[in-house]
Every structure is written in structure tokens, then in C-alpha cells.
Amino acid sequence: MKNIFLTLLAALLSGMSFAQTSASITSKFDFIPGEKIIFYDDFTSENIGDFPVSWNTTASGEVVAVKDHPGNWFMMVGEGGVVVDGGLDLPDNFTVDFDVIGYPVEDGNPYFEFGFCMFSAENPKDLNEGGAVPGLNGGIKMSFGNLATYSAYNAEGYTLHGEKEDAVMEAGKKYRLSFWVQKTRLRVYLDQTKIFDLPKVFEPGLKINMVRFELWDSGNPLIANFRVAAGLPDMRSKLITEGKLVSYGIYFDINKDVVKPESYGTLKGIAEVLKENPTVRINIVGHTDSDGADAANLDLSKRRGASVKNELVKNFGIDASRLESDGLGETKPVAPNDTPSNKALNRRVEFIKL
């Protein structure tokens, strides 16, 4: 029965047309993703209908295609938990961000709900450690959908609770969730809006090594472009002193050259460096992975470089005469094009001081 339900739901999703967020950058979004990619999965290496190999679950799910949203999506189904298999080796400072679409269990229900947890587990292979409070050493449970909530806890019990009623996610719409951890502090963003800023939510020294989606009977989340990265890039030092800044914080849809709104924080940081150093000129160079034809990748990378230049001029007031743009396609990889994480390393924008 479950396999029949998954097949029917996947077929329905492939024919649905979901509302899309605007590609224009209009908000003050200060999230900047980490510089070093720890884990990345866009599910493009998986076959439609399969459960992704880098994940594990006590529920169910499969990779699906969604009309009007490029690439593959991981649809989670049932009740239970979904985790990155084996856990993650996370430092004190890291970011997590991903696209999500919610689908309600009941037809006609405009809302859905799912949970997302970050915690310290004694045994990352034990998907049930702690039961309803994942991890024996502490962490945070959050929920998204009808509203956004959080409950933080340590080894002795709950420590903080909160909610934001106007952080509503409607079923069928695509959103971006972003999480920024800096030691004890956690900032959470829904699209370009910061919904939580918790300066002392984690116990000092807590080693977070697990992220977990919680599924109830209130909806099925679909995720894509799931990215975990470490370290905040020192833009000023990289660009002005070293002469080259490699950025993974500028986002595009697959095979598209339109800069996505979640790139705002990174672009704002680069613009501030340029404004503080008014004589500096830069070349903006796009790079791709090796998927697709060489000529198409070269053209795409050039268009992406030009799009970033245009955003800096149009939305951040940088003089166009200070900026050049180019693209090198797949010709300068920094990692083998053999895994989703390595391909993500090769999809980058470089800012080179002239």
C-alpha cells in the first residue's frame, strides 16, 4: 500500500505547477553560507523512485521530479525520522540550507508541517537515540509549516521554547530554509526573512553531529539542494590581500543564469568590500561542473558571471567600469566531478582582483 501511495503522489507532484519565488533580489538578507562544503546532495545522481543512498530513515521516501522546479527532489513520506546516514562531523561554526516544498496529507489542506533537528548524538548510527528528543547530549527541535517553533534542550531537559506565528509555509510553494550556527548561537531564515536569532541556544562546547527531519501525519516535505558547509569566508582578506575570492554563496537554478534571492548576503558582503576599496577592480568568473555539453557549460558560466556583475551594479551601486566578467565552464575543476559534493565545489563564482 505504501509503494502505491508513493507512486501516486510522485505522479501527482510531477504534474503540479507550484508557485515560484521571485528571482529579483529585494530584501536585506544577511545569511552567508559556509566556505567549505561538508555535505551536499541535489539528488541528481539518484534514479527517480529510489531512496537516496546518502540518507537513512525510519519512515520512507523516494526521489521524484516536480514540474516547474528543475532537478530531482527527495520526497519524505510516513512518520519517523530522516537523517544524513552516519551523521556529520561539524565544527563550531557551520551553515545548513536547502529548498523545500510541502505537500499535505489531506487533500485540500493548504498547510503542512514537518520537523528539523540539530543535535549531539552519542551514536550517530542510532536513528532512535533519545526518542522524541533526538540525541542524548542536547540540541534543538524545530518545526515549520503552519508556524515556526523551536525547543532547545540539554542532557537534563528543555531549556528554551519559542515560536513565530507569521512564519507560515503554504503547501505547494517552494521555500528556502537556512540555518547559521556560530558556537552557541543559531540564526534561522525562511526565504530572505530571519525568523529566529538565538544567541545562547546551544550549551558551550556542544558537538553537533546530526541533522534530522521529523515526519508526522501532517505532511510530506520535499527537499532539494541540501548543503552543509563550514566557516564564514573572510571576503576582505581573500579579495584585497590574496587577490581572489572563491564564492559558493551565489545561487542559480540548474542551467539558469538568474541570480537567486538567497545570494543577497554574499553579494552584499562583496559590495561592502568594494565600496571600502574604491580603486579596486575585479573580474567575475563563473565555473560549472562537467554535467552537460562543454560548449553549453562555457556559455552558461559566462552568462552567470555577467549576471553577478549586473546584480552588483543594479542592486548594490557598484560602478560598472570596475567590473569585468567571464566564464570558464568546466575547464578549471577544483575537485573530481564524481559526487554531488564535489560537483558543488566546481560550481562556483570567483572574484579576481585586477
Q: Specify the CATH number for the domain of residue 282.
A: 3.30.1330.60
Q: What pTM was estimated for this model as a whole?
A: 0.88
- Domain identity same for 137 and 173: yes
For the stretch 3-12, pLDDT in tens is 434 444 544 4
What is residue 107's predicted lDDT score, i.e. its pLDDT?
66
Looking at 200, 230, 260, the residue that finishes a domain is: 230
For the stretch 52-99, pLDDT in tens is 999 999 999 999 999 888 899 999 999 999 999 999 999 999 999 999
The tally of domains found in the chain comes to 2
Looking at 207, 230, 253, the residue that finishes a domain is: 230
Distance CA 158, CA 262 (A): 32
Looking at 230, 248, 264, the residue that finishes a domain is: 230
- Domain identity same for 165 and 87: yes
Q: Specify the CATH number for the domain of residue 84.
A: 2.60.120.560
DSSP 8-state class, residue 251: -
- Domain identity same for 194 and 88: yes
For the stretch 199-229, pLDDT in tens is 999 999 999 999 999 998 888 899 999 999 9
- Domain identity same for 63 and 25: yes
DSSP 8-state class, residue 24: S
- Domain identity same for 60 and 111: yes
Residue 35 clears pLDDT 90, i.e. is over it: no
- Domain identity same for 318 and 177: no
What is residue 28's predicted lDDT score, i.e. its pLDDT?
61
- Domain identity same for 171 and 248: no
For the stretch 150-187, pLDDT in tens is 999 999 999 999 999 999 998 889 999 999 999 999 99
- Domain identity same for 257 and 187: no
Residues spanned by the domain of 311: 235-353
- Domain identity same for 195 and 334: no
- Domain identity same for 97 and 243: no
- Domain identity same for 108 and 242: no
Determine the 3-state secondary structure of 187 from DSSP.
Answer: strand
Determine the 3-state secondary structure of 245 from DSSP.
Answer: strand
Q: Which residues of 188-223 are buried (b: 16+ CB within 10 A; e: fewer)?
A: bbbbbeebbebeebbbeebebbbbbbbbbebbbbbb
- Domain identity same for 207 and 314: no
Q: Which of 167, 201, 157, 161 is nearest to 181 (CA)?
A: 201
